[in-house]
Structure 1
Amino acid sequence: MGVVMLLHIGIIVLFFLLGTFINDSKLKNGNKIYLFITFFVLYIMSAFRSINIGNDTRDYFLMYENFGRTDNILSMPSDIEVGYRVLNKFLYSLNPSPVLLTSITSLFVLGSIFFFIYKNSEIPWLSVMLFINLRTFYFTLSGIRQSIALAIILISYKYLKQGNFWKFVSLVILASTFHTSSLLFLIIYPMSRMRVKQKIIALYFGVSVVFFFILERILPLILNFIPKYQSYLSSSYFESVKLASILNFLVSFSILLFGFFVLKYVKSKRKVNNELGILSVNSNLLLHIMLLSTAFNFIAINGSIIKRAGLYFSVFAIIYIPNLIKKIKDKNIKILIIYLILVLSLAYNLVILIYRPEWQRVYPYELFWDVF
């Protein structure tokens, strides 16, 4: 294990110790202080990363120059969404250095995610740890377009909770101008209007199984309407039974099972006949999101392109897990579960970093000036 990996582990341990200290000390504005410090560290890592960090960063740097030098950005032949093209053109006019691109996009993406955590998580420091250990942070270092779309989706969550249809849809459509796949998040609106019951869970299960088996037949038909993604059919994105897709599903499924376990435990303490009957409106919404996360990640085992859609739902695990734990009143059990989740998620993260570094190519880490 190299020095860089030890440094990475040190950052995670530091975040953990800082979080537990602030939580135990009951420091005034402790959550804000913790989120600011951790945001600052991760922002530096993201904004000033080198061209070698992230599988797609090199391509994005080339796109930045290409779009920046193009006169008519709207009419140019390109498969890249128009919102992202316009953003590149505008930033390039300010400064042709791609560091400006990573600085601004990192500020928006990480800022939106941390604000989302602040507003929605019952245990913010645990959400930050999950953001890193469930590897969403590493994705933001590579997939800039989808990370921007993801950030906008998290902003739309406020209006989804309020039932404000038009503001929610408007933000999802805005997200699609950076990555078309974000339109799939629209499915959550009608589903969230329904109470999660056993029949709804069975519906999710049945539909996901059907799509799993027919995916190879229907996906080419669907991509006829989105021709820019047809190249994925002959690429590694459509390899069946990829290890990464299986792991994504297992993580999503484990989180879902954990949720049912906690709800059952809380129900037994509150003497409620049906564990799903204790769900608040927000808890019901998050459970729908996690069911969709599991469904998309299951289907993705038979076509890895689908895991891109699953990301818009699986990211909500960073608030779903802490908010579930908060329902547990027994302090000792709560602490035990928190430590168990931290150990398991850290082990998951480190095993992939060590044995599959090519999945997102974030270590060994380099700052942009290291390559000059």
Structure 2
Amino acid sequence: MSDLTANLKSFQFEHGLSQDEKQLLNLRSRVWGLTVSACAHATFFCKVISAFRQNIQTGDGSLAPKVSKLFSSSSAPDLKVGILGCGYIGKQVAKAIMELTDLTAANINVSTRRPETLVELQSAGVECFYNNSGLATWADILFLCCLPCHLPKVCSDIRDHLPKSCIVYSVATAVPLLRLKKLLCHRAIIKPEYHFTESKKSSVWATFGKVTSVLQMPAVIDATCPYLPQGGICLNSKWYEAILYCALNVCSSLQLNCSRSLETLNDLFLIKQLKAEEQDGKQPLFTCESFVNKYFTSLLSKNLFFPQFDLVAVQTKDTPLSRFLAENFLIQDQLIQAYRVTFGQISV
């Protein structure tokens, strides 16, 4: 049966607004765009880290979506994702990770003050409780989805329980990165920074609905894509740099030397056509000098490990990777393609 009220103006969101309030309607689209972008980038990050771990451990890691989540027990991802705070944005992040990556509910734990309200997530198999310090100890990736006003208390709860290898990903956009580092006494923190620009394609955010459904639309994927600001919401390019440095940290923590770490990075992020061009001398790949200065490169041998990079410093200072990416637009293009591949938009 069709919905008889679907097109009635009196049932529309805008109907009861005054003229002054209608001038603020663009804020609704911006909030929606930020929500979708935050979920897309959190999903991509989980996919990257999971793919690296699987590639190292089993050799079958890939950024491309799997056709099915019916893994054998030997190949199921072992990445542990913690979500601290599960209001609206926390729920959307959890659903996006479950539906758009190879991770399942078994990979996700949630700590929130009212776990009894998360019936939908619990029914899906997500373990929900209120134990911030326990979640921090358990997680490989810890998403901070709490309100900014709660962050000092949350950081106090988890600061002494964070393993050095745990990657903290902050969705609390109002709290500066350097303050987060001070509150947590932790270096492995990633925080996306967004800003708004004028764009003819900002109308893409006029499409409301389920976040996971919207993130299957090519126009939305492009609107959230780093290096491709098409929807009026721009992500700081330092975020992608932090992802790449973080991937190298994962390699080092899993005892992968410099040579194999770079090989894994190039295999996952650069398509075969680009690697073939590199063999003809047309296009460089990621090398040691892409990430560390020439002096440090001279001290590294292929069998040594990369240092554990300070991800806060990566996002707040100029790095060798900043200069490398600025000079190599084809590499930037491949990073765009890798992002699209993660959401199934193109074939590898």
Query: Structure 2 length as normaliser, TM-score?
Result: 0.28
| Structure with a larger share of its residues in helix | 1
| Structure with a larger share of its residues in strand | 2
Query: Structure 1 length as normaliser, TM-score?
Result: 0.27
Higher relative contact order (CA 8 A, sep 6+): 1
